[in-house]
Amino acid sequence: MTQHKRILFAGDPHGNFRPLVTAVLKYKPEAVVLLGDYDLEFPLESYLKEIENLTEVWWIAGNHDFETPVKYHNLFNSAFSHRDLHLKVTEIAGLKIVGLSGVFLGRVWYPPQQPKWLGKQHYLLNQSANIPHFELSLKYKSAIWHDEFEALKDLKADILVSHEAPGSHRHGFRAIGELAAVMGVKHIFHGHLHENYSCVIKNNIKVCGVADTAVTDLLGNKLS
Ligand SMILES: [Zn+2]
């Protein structure tokens, strides 16, 4: 195993985990990071039986993972539920990786606009004034919330993995690149947009978009 293949990144599987499994069997990385949008009909581990003892499986969630209760359950209550990277820094194969699941939603926060709600508590308190025992819907759970996003700025990391793209992509958000810069991140990997590309943004941060079912290494080389 070469150093830059010790962690692999998998773009939106949308139910097809074969390219990831094949890449793990071939390159035997220490860890893999899944970038969201799994469309799970069964628990996540059932797709990864061949590799679950060969590598560490880490993940963030994409918008599709909140589409139905089944998809949500099969990810968040899977055998890999403890490998959720969202909103924290985790040391993986010697690198500090921070995760950002979900997407920006107009009804919550759509930068550069001001947030509609400061955070989940703000939103829930407002709703429960009219509806007793109001709970956050899956749609709202899929949102990137402003207060949680801002809290990450107190942390440091080497790599940011997000479902949404930074401003390097025409459908991306500058807020993500700004977050990476404040955190001292050198490299962003993102999914969601089904496009393989690499580029460098402000503060010399390298961005790698990973296409659906594609797998890349730490240098952004496409492996499958
Ligand atoms: Zn997506």
pTM: 0.96
**Can you tell me the distance from the alpha carbon of 139 to that of 8, in angstroms, rounded to the nearest whole number?**
29
pLDDT greater than 80 at residue 224 = no
Centroid of ligand 1 to alpha carbon of 194 (angstroms): 8
pLDDT score recorded for residue 190: 98
Q: Please, are residues 100 and 149 in contact by the beta-carbon 8 Å criterion?
A: yes
Annotated domain spans of the chain? 3-216
Segment 89-129, tens digit of pLDDT = 999 999 999 999 999 999 999 999 999 999 999 999 888 77
Name the class of domain 3-216. alpha beta
Encoded tokens for 175: 């807020």
CA 48 to chain centre: 18
In this prediction, residue 1 carries a pLDDT of: 58
Q: What is the mean pLDDT of the chain?
A: 96
CA 101–ligand 1 middle distance (angstroms): 10
| Exposed / middle / buried, residue 189 (Cβ in 10 Å: 0-12, 13-18, 19+) | buried
Question: What is the distance in A from the centroid of ligand 1 to the CA of 189?
Answer: 14
What is the Å distance from ligand 1's center to 10 Cα? 13
